Amino acid sequence: MVEKVVEMELPVGEKLSIIKNRILPDSCEKEYEETGMLSKKLPRIALVTGIHGDELEGQYVCYEIARRIREQKENLTGIVDVYPAINPLGIENAVRSIPTSDMDMNRNFPGDTEGDPTEQLAAAVVADIAGADFCLDVHASDIFVKEIPQVRVSEEFSERMLPYAELLNVDMIWMNATATVHESTLAHSMNLLGIPTMVVEMGLGGRINKSYGNQVVDGIFNLMKKLGIWKGEIAIMQHPVVSTDGEVEFIRAEHVGIFLPAIEHNHYVREGDLIGEIVNPVDGTVRERITASRGGLIFTLREYPVVTHGALLARILV
């Protein structure tokens, strides 16, 4: 059942609402509809996405989770709260930040009930998720680089989170990826509150990769089974590579130009293999040939061709 987590009046005839779909076992729906609560404690997972308006992979994940549960509702034994759009204005306007303030929603947690509108929205989301047994924050990459399905966990919470991360059917678990697990993020805030929370990243900003989405959805059902929320069959899981920052090689542009990749995403390279070229469309010259300094899996590859100094071209898991 779709509920409003928080709503806020915009200046001109519109309310901004953050919604969630609370999916309950059939046996509990009537009681919840009538009383707004349940007499018995059920395990609960919060699936959150759409914090960044340009990351849409989570839209498919939400759809597919709700669809599969509806088809096998008899297997649901807990509560699944789906939050499909934490930044609804960003999604509707195809921008990463909150359009009204230009603020990154994921730098405003845990929020403040007495703060500005963005902080109040963030605080309402945190309060609503509080009490869940698990929270999963689904992100895509930005529009510049493509990522394989991966879980990012901060070192601070790694010991506690690793067993959960291994259930999610992702290709990789990246420990201590500091940018994504920044202290002002939803994930960090929820972990500090004692709610085990992980961030999943996959695909590309502004796009949906159904194959990646299905892979992660299989993993979410596996996780829900371990949490006692699902009793249906689950797919065969793959074992992710677990890496630390020291095992990830960043490859960045040292020239401006147009990046033309010479390899496919999610493929292995050997040391010395050509990853791509940065070319100059004005005079037809190659400004930089980028080769792999170490062999490994290309788990990040640039999709947006225009590059400046420092632009991320690829990441190799060595």
Partner 1 sequence: MYIKDLYTVESLYRENMVVKGYQFGKGDKAACIIGSLRGNELQQMYICSQLVRKLKELEANDCISSGKEILVVPVVNAYSMNVGKRFYGVEQTDLNRTFPGSSYGTSTARLTDAVLQQIKDYSYGIQFTSFYMQGEFVPHVRMMETGYQNTSLANLFGLPYVVVRKPKPIDTKTLNFNWQDEMTAAFSVYSNRSDEIDENAARQVVAAVLRFLTRMGILHYESHSGYISHVIKEEDLTDIHARKGGFFRPFVKAGEEVRYNQECAEIVDPYEGEILERIVAPTDGIIFFAHTNPLASENEILFRLIHRLHE
Minimum separation from the CB atom of position 5 to partner 1 (A) = 15
Minimum separation from the CB atom of position 110 to partner 1 (A) = 10
Of 45 and 186, which has the nearer Cβ to partner 1?
186
Of 96 and 146, which has the nearer Cβ to partner 1?
96
Of 107 and 207, which has the nearer Cβ to partner 1?
107
Of 62 and 122, which has the nearer Cβ to partner 1?
122
Of 40 and 309, which has the nearer Cβ to partner 1?
309
Closest CA to 312 of 63, 111, 143: 143
Minimum separation from the CB atom of position 240 to partner 1 (A) = 26
Identify the burial level of 63 via C-beta atoms within 10 angstroms of its C-beta, where 0-12 means exposed, 13-18 middle and 19 or more buried. middle
Minimum separation from the CB atom of position 216 to partner 1 (A) = 25
Q: How far apart are CA 133 and CA 43, in angstroms?
A: 6
Which residues, 6 or more positions from 199, have their beta carbon under 8 angstroms from its beta carbon?
137, 139, 151, 152, 153, 180, 181, 185, 187
Of 223 and 301, which has the nearer Cβ to partner 1?
301
Of 165 and 190, which has the nearer Cβ to partner 1?
190
β-strand partners of 251: 314
Minimum separation from the CB atom of position 269 to partner 1 (A) = 21
| C-alpha to C-alpha distances, 169 to 127, 220, 241, 318, nearest whole angstrom | 29, 8, 11, 20
Minimum separation from the CB atom of position 52 to partner 1 (A) = 12
Reduced DSSP (H G I as helix, E B as strand, rest coil) percent helix, strand, coil of the chain, to 5: 25, 30, 40
Confirm if 184 and 159 have CB atoms less than 8 A apart: no
Give the footprint of partner 1 on this chain (CB under 8 A). Answer: 8-13, 16, 96-97, 100-103, 107-108, 114-117, 120, 142, 144, 182-184, 250, 252, 256-258, 280, 304, 306, 308-312
Of 109 and 164, which has the nearer Cβ to partner 1?
109
Q: What is the crossing angle of helices 210-226 and 57-71, to 10°? A: 50
Confirm if 274 and 263 have CB atoms less than 8 A apart: yes
Instruction: State the CB neighbour count (10 A cutoff) for residue 221.
Output: 24
Minimum separation from the CB atom of position 235 to partner 1 (A) = 36
Instruction: State the CB neighbour count (10 A cutoff) for residue 261.
Output: 18
Q: Using alpha carbons only, give the angle 245, 250, 255 rounded to the nearest 5 degrees.
A: 160
Q: How far apart are CA 230 and CA 78, in angstroms?
A: 7
Minimum separation from the CB atom of position 116 to partner 1 (A) = 5
